[in-house]
Amino acid sequence: MTFIAKNRLTRRSELYRLEPYMSEHGLMMVGGRLHREWAATHDGPILLPRDHPVTTGTLIVRETHAVHAEHSGREHTFSLLRQNFGIPKCRGLLDKISKACTVCRRNNWVSMHQREALLPADRTCPGKPAFAFTG
Ligand SMILES: [Zn+2]
């Protein structure tokens, strides 16, 4: 039974698009087109709150980012997370974690470019023609 069917979720809710439902074990799961398949196999992504310490802490998102995705890009980490978890607005959370990660900061480091000084006047003004001073 979905929350949407009971009219408990409004369209403005960030969970609305995930079509959540309560599993037999009391976990809030991500629904959708595969809901029937997941319910039959007791499998499917678990819906997690974005700002809970279990989600953002070392347990789930940071471990997926560091261990499973090995500090790769945001979308790769996001696809690995979506296999088991549904986290609303997860991409923003992954950006925040990637910015705070020292390994990612070191790997994605962009060097600063030093601004060059102006050229001296003798290199910019045209000089004497060739062979003006011979012999
Ligand atoms: Zn990282």
Q: What's the rounded Cα separation, in Å, for the pair 94 and 103?
A: 14
Q: What's the rounded Cα separation, in Å, for the pair 99 and 74?
A: 11
Which residue range forms the structural domain that includes residue 6? 1-47
48: exposed, middle or buried (C-beta count within 10 Å: 0-12, 13-18, 19+)?
buried
Statement: the pTM of the whole predicted model exceeds 0.75:
no
Same-domain pairing of 66 and 100? yes
Same-domain pairing of 52 and 36? no
Question: For position 57, what pLDDT does the model report?
Answer: 66
Calculate how far, in angstroms, residue 44's C-alpha sits from the geometric centre of ligand 1: 26
Calculate how far, in angstroms, residue 113's C-alpha sits from the geometric centre of ligand 1: 25
Same-domain pairing of 18 and 63? no
Cα torsion for 47, 52, 54, 58, to the nearest 10°?
Answer: 120
> pLDDT digits over 93-117, tens only?
899 999 999 999 999 888 888 999 9
Calculate how far, in angstroms, residue 12's C-alpha sits from the geometric centre of ligand 1: 32
Same-domain pairing of 52 and 99? yes
> pLDDT digits over 26-79, tens only?
888 888 777 777 766 667 888 888 888 887 766 789 999 999 999 998 999 999
Q: Which amino acid makes up residue 79?
A: S
In a domain, 8, yes or no: yes
From 60, 63, 39, select the one nearest 50 (Cα to Cα): 60
Calculate how far, in angstroms, residue 74's C-alpha sits from the geometric centre of ligand 1: 10
Q: Which residues line ion ligand 1, judged by CB < 5 Å?
A: 71, 101, 103-104
Question: For position 102, what pLDDT does the model report?
Answer: 94
Q: What's the rounded Cα separation, in Å, for the pair 135 and 130?
A: 13
In a domain, 111, yes or no: no
Q: What's the rounded Cα separation, in Å, for the pair 94 and 100?
A: 10
Question: For position 1, what pLDDT does the model report?
Answer: 46
Question: For position 6, what pLDDT does the model report?
Answer: 58
Same-domain pairing of 31 and 70? no
